[in-house]
Structure 1
Amino acid sequence: MSDEAADVRAIRALTAAYNRTFDTGDTVGWLATFFPDGELVVEGHAVYTGRDALAEFAADRVGRYHHLSADPEIEIAGDTAVQQCSLILYNTEKEGVSLVGTGRYVDELVRTSEGWRFLRRTVRMRRVASATAEHRSVVAAGGAAAVRQSPALSADVVVVGSGAGGLAAAIGAASMGSSVILLEKASKFGGTTAKSGGVFWIPGNKHQAAHGLSDDLPLALRYMARVSAPDRYDEHDIYLALSVWEYQLLSAYVDQAAEVLDRLEELGALTVNAEVGWDFPDYHCELPEQGGIRGRALAPAAPDGGVGTGTDLVDQLLVTSEKLGVQLMNDVAFTDLAVDGNRVVGVLARSPRRELFVEARGGVVLASGGFTHDPARAAAHLPGRLWGGCAVRENTGDILPALEALDVPLSNMECAWWDQVAIEHTLAATTETRAGVWVAPGDSSVIVDLSGARVVNEKAVYNTRAKIHHGEDAPQVLLLLMDQRCRELFCTEQFAYPITAADLEHGDGLISASTWDELAESIDQRLADLGEHLDGARLRPGFREELARTISRYNQAAREGVDHDFARGEQPIEHFFSGAPRPGSGPNATMAPFSDTGPYHAVLIGLGTLDTKGGPQTDIQGRVLDRFGDPTPGLYAVGNAAASPSGQGYWAAGATIGPALVFGYAAGQHAAARSNRSRHLH
């Protein structure tokens, strides 16, 4: 037998071992078929590089399928080889066997001391439409039951949720002449968008040019990639070391954002005030990829033409939605998806008076936010104890069980738009807070742990600062400390949560005393009173002495104007959030020495979110992708209801609302076009 024939036989044996180990649940054996830095590419979906990523891919998949490979075509070139072979994939989870789909493997192999191994295995898969029909029949049967029990509503496009993403989707569909029904769980429209500052981040927008500013879209893409995946980013990699899915969505956003904004302005759905952008820096100006560019952050105009808020943004979108004939229904909660075969054909919902089946001829757009206020999911997925957040209380992840029932994979479930919250504000009737600790308010203020030591740059961007709470051994409870001068001078600032008059209306959350020693005693008593809520957290021995050293060291740094411990005040965004300097501040306007006399104040703070950002992966039209990276017919997701390609990063103010508007509009347009094609066919 020739050496080449032996190599061909060995590669066939490797392919068989790949199938056998995966199908029998032998994760270790399956990983051994790859080169140590080997790569699995599920085309159109994701790339898994290295043992850790491959193990993650295999974790919830091995033992659930049966692979058949045939018709191998193998070419040997020394110590490398390429192979193509056909693939037939079956699902073996249930009684009997169901066909999932067919496709091909395209393999690059390398010879090692232990034999041939896959250097890269690319899966090109086409799902069989009927493969999921049995699995989804339960949902479809529910839809049929709802039709029998209540009158059906029908539209070309059904949107779930009325924040920026949902309203943009409704406008996108209605602007193409499609009928649209929008369902909102709450009594008021607008979701978390209505509570926000309303800023949206749009690279390359026309308002920059009108103000004499230029942008650099390739640089913007690299900036987004580096912030989104700082541990993987490689400027020399064709995909910047992102997964294919991440790269496609970020690229699409950079390419489409300004165009969608122009279209929304043309429709009268947005009136823009660009003034905020001239002063509002991106969140990571220290990165060379940011390029010193301003003007990407835009705001809705207020009725008087000034800088508006999230309420103004929602009002503008609602007015245009109504003009375009969108049927807006509040107090209607999503309960399930209705499915016919492999197509999503509508929504099951509940109003105070009845159960509803709402038919969607073109598609359903899920835009109902994340799962901040679902304690079980938060505990299962998030990397630290979540106390609550400023997402509206209706954001409880209602769509997730329906997606799981459809076997749609959920991604980035550990990710969120992080902030910190006043813990005592989350222990009342709801875990929803008025706002988040965008910045530790004031200049004579610090954040310390229960030993009395500073642990973080108090002025760091909230998404970055809040990560101090991530991890099993991370602190669940920290203390925000300030003096009376700080409280008085900064309590009216826009970003002064949690010390504004509204936050302290009922005295909740603020601990005060005349001296530091008395404050320590009061804090420890408050911790004791909240014992079961805080898992018994108390001040550690030596707290008073350590706090005295901390305050002394901080005061010296404030007089010098240099924070040698945490570099406070070195980034433009820190000064923006801190506001104008106040009398008594030092050379560094974000710092001032604490007063020698009280009173002093403390607030218990912990991990919060603006909202989570995990969910189904979607393509650039907002279509929900199934386990093989194929669009699920008739199903879309946008905003915080979908997995965000930003990962744990936060590019700038408006990085939440901007993509929601852009991909929401794209999803509505695509669903409307799908409905129009269906009408023409019929």
Structure 2
Amino acid sequence: MTDWNEEVDVLVAGSGGGLAGAYTAAREGLSVAVVEATDKFGGTTSYSGGGGVWFPCNPVLRREGVDDTVEDALTYFRAVVGDRTPAGLQETYVRSGAQVIEYLERDEAFKFQMFPWPDYFGKAPKARLDGKRHIVPAPLRAAKLGELSESVRGPLGTDRHGDPQPDYLIGGRALVGRFLLGLSKFPNVALHLNTPLVELVTEDGAVTGAIVERDGQRVAIRARKGVLLAAGGFEGNDELRQRYGVPGAARDTMGPCGNQGRAHEAGIAVGADTDLMDQAWWSPGLVHPDGRAAFALWFTGGIFVNQAGERFVNESAPYDRLGRDIIEHLDAGTATLPFWMIYDDTEGVVPPIKASNVPIVEAEKYLEAGLWKTADTLEELAVEIGVPAAALAATVARFNEFAAAGVDPDFGRGDEAYDRAFSNGEPPLTPIVKGPFHAAAFGISDLGTKGGLRTDTAARVLDTAGEPIPGLYAAGNTMAAVSGTVYPGGGNPIGASVLFSHLAALDMRAR
């Protein structure tokens, strides 16, 4: 038996997409406690540049006259995910996302807008090449959120470089802010920062609450309806990454420092089954002067070369697909870290990257750290980065021929809609001709691990026999990803987090 210090209907561990569960529970009349391990709300969601959700046929898209159908979207999703995750789970995700937006838009705290973002497997059946399955939260003026705005994690420039807080919350921060704004209306909600989950409490096989740590003291919180674990992944924990075989290092993740896998371990301790524990949401990462590789996309030029001075991937592929290709080459020994982006002086010494996520600082710092190299000729640049001079010159000459022809027969750069998303629909094949020539060091980054506790379609956590553990739910990166080993489209991770947190709260209401 446990002596409870506090009692609520619903306990939510984590404050990113899991806030959807807290909001839904509170709106449905349940009392809620949110416990966040760090000093800021938002988790990995708050670091998302767009904060988008992949919810086909939702009200925002319907108002814009988008002619998509749920059946087409489901055909696409199943084609790329395959049978790696249960068909029912996939169907729930694709069919139910629109309902969440309908639910949220009844509250003036929530505003969304269409932001076209092509599906990531453009050759799959029923892929939406115009990107009209994706919406983002509208920017939110910080003043509207009041003092709570100072408690929202990010942006990355603030957290990594000390940049001033902007007047508007955008992207993932806007989504988190809007959930906090919605929650502020309800008197039955308690939000706790610096309160990590320690362990779950069970009685007769059911989860009845949890032990958290607050101000150095253990606090037992009873959850009459259930506990939702939505505390992110374990990307910040090198020991767990090694245990489960997740490539890369905690140093290079885009997840916040609090994502240590406590919720995963708490769930496993009470019998939860797991899946996809060696998986993450991958991306190439520009290496910054602090030594960390950070997610970067939107390349307007440049090619990647390996230690042989040769291209080895489609540099414009969707970032998770690109990251996985890079990891395969690392495993095979056909690429090593760092690998290099080769580019010319068209835009100067700064690499042709328009979305570095972690802001690029003064060029001198990269040059001093040996992360950016410059030389008058490609042969001299090859010496600087330690690759064969003749091979690098030949690689660039071959690529320039492709650029002139507008076709990349080696790696298909530009063959899919996403490849061309940042080049006005044209093949992203920019010749490398203007000296001096430059190289920028790259590594492998991730947006968080995606392995976690197995759940059913109501987000109920399953035990190793496939049966729900009463009172326990999971969503976000604490839940084994509905998308399996792939990343179907922008907004899929946050969308799944929001949806399954929402469904968990509805199931708890019905208990």
Name the TM-score class by shorter chain: 0.7 to 0.9
After TM superposition, list the pairs within 5 Å mapping 1:650-665 onto structure 2: 650-665=487-502
Residue 343 of structure 2 aligns with which residue? 482
| Cα distance in structure 1, aligned partners of 2:434 and 2:365 | 28
1:483 shift after superposition: 2.1
Residue of structure 1 aligned with 2:417, choices 554, 572, 586: 572
Q: CA RMSD in A?
A: 2.6
**Equivalent residue for 2:190?**
327
Match of 1:561 among 403, 406, 416: 406
- Confirm whether residue 523 of structure 1 aligns to residue 385 of structure 2: yes
Match of 1:248 among 70, 77, 88: 88
Do 2:16 and 2:230's aligned partners in 1 also have CA atoms closer than 8 Å? yes
The change in CA–CA distance for 1:287 and 1:492 in structure 2 (over 3 A counts) is closer
Letter in 2 for 1:514: A
Aligned length: 476
- Aligned residues with identical type, % of pairs: 29
Residue 302, structure 1, aligned to residue 139, structure 2: yes
What is the rounded CA distance, in whole Å, between the counterparts of 1:381 and 1:450 in structure 2? 28
8 Å CA contact retained: 2:379, 2:393? no
Q: Distance in 1 between matches of 2:475 and 2:362?
A: 32
Deviation of 1:217 (Å) = 1.2
Partner residue in 2 for 1:455:
312
* SS of residue paired to 1:372: coil
In the alignment, does 2:163 pair up with 1:163?
Answer: no
1:367, 1:637 within 8 Å by CA — same for their partners in 2? yes
Q: Distance in 1 between matches of 2:40 and 2:64?
A: 36
Q: How does 1:308-387 map to 2 (within 5 A)?
A: 308-325=170-187, 326-382=189-245, 384-386=247-249
Secondary structure at 1:470 match in 2: helix
Once the 2 structures are TM-superposed, how far is the Cα of residue 253 of structure 1 from its aligned partner? 1.5
Question: How far is 1:255 from its partner?
Answer: 2.1
1:174 Cα shift? 0.6
**1:92-131 equivalence runs, <5 A:** none
CA contact (8 A) 2:236 2:257 kept: yes
Q: State whether residues 302 and 309 of structure 1, in contact with CA within 8 Å, keep that contact through their aligned partners in structure 2.
A: yes
Instruction: Show the 5 A alignment for 1:206-605.
Output: 206-229=59-82, 242=83, 246-274=86-114, 276-277=115-116, 280-290=117-127, 292=129, 294-303=131-140, 308-325=170-187, 326-382=189-245, 384-386=247-249, 388-423=252-287, 427=291, 435-439=294-298, 441-443=299-301, 445-471=302-328, 472-474=331-333, 475-477=335-337, 478-487=339-348, 493=354, 495-496=355-356, 501-502=360-361, 506-507=365-366, 510-515=371-376, 516-524=378-386, 539=387, 543-576=388-421, 578-580=422-424, 588-603=426-441, 605=442
User: Which residues of structure 1 form unaligned runs of 5+?
Assistant: 1-139, 230-241, 525-538, 582-587, 675-682
Cα offset for 1:423? 4.6
Query: Is 2:476 aligned against 1:619?
Result: no
Residue 153 of structure 2 aligns with which residue?
none
Question: Residues 505 and 210 (structure 1 numbering): CA distance in 2 closer, same or farther, change over 3 Å?
Answer: farther
**What one-letter code is carried by the residue in structure 2 that aligns with 1:473?**
A
- The alpha-carbon distance between structure 1 residues 517 and 383, as it changes in their structure 2 partners (threshold 3 A), is same
Structure 1 residues 289 and 318 mapped into 2: Cα distance closer, same or farther (>3 Å)? same
Match of 1:202 among 55, 63, 74: 55
| Equivalent residue for 2:472, pick from 613, 632, 635 | 635
Alignment of structure 1 residues 4-23 onto 2, 5 Å:
none
**Residues 476 and 375 from structure 1, CA distance in 2 versus in 1: closer, same or farther, beyond 3 angstroms?**
farther
Offset of 1:488 from its aligned partner? 6.2
The 2-side partners of 1:312 and 1:362 are apart by 29
| Letter matched to residue 393 of structure 1 | C
Q: What is the identity, as a one-letter code, of the residue corresponding to 2:471? A: G
Q: What whole-Å deviation, never above 9, does each CA across 1:22-63 have from its counterpart, x for those lacking one?
A: xxxxxxxxxxxxxxxxxxxxxxxxxxxxxxxxxxxxxxxxxx
In the TM superposition, what is the alpha-carbon distance from 1:303 to its structure 2 partner?
3.6
Greater length-normalized contact order (CA 8 Å, ≥ 6 residues apart): 2
Distance 1:331 1:425, change over 3 A: farther
How many angstroms apart in 2 are the aligned matches of 1:486 and 1:611? 32
Q: Give me the whole-angstrom Cα distance separating, in 2, the residues matched to 1:406 and 1:501.
A: 44
Report the TM-score, using the length of structure 1 for normalisation: 0.66
Mapped to 1, the partners of 2:123 and 2:322 lie a distance apart of: 16
Q: CA deviation at 1:291?
A: 5.4
Task: Give the greater-gyration-radius structure (CA).
Answer: 1
CA contact (8 A) 1:272 1:301 kept: yes
The runs of at least 4 consecutive aligned structure 1 residues that moved more than 6 Å come to: none
Counterpart CA distance in 2 for 1:413 and 1:425 is 30
Distance 1:414 1:287 in 2: 25
Question: Unpaired runs of 5+ in structure 2?
Answer: 142-167
1:600 maps to a residue whose letter is: H
2: distance between equivalents of 1:509 and 1:201?
Answer: 39
Give the Cα separation in 2 of the matches to 1:169 and 1:639: 11
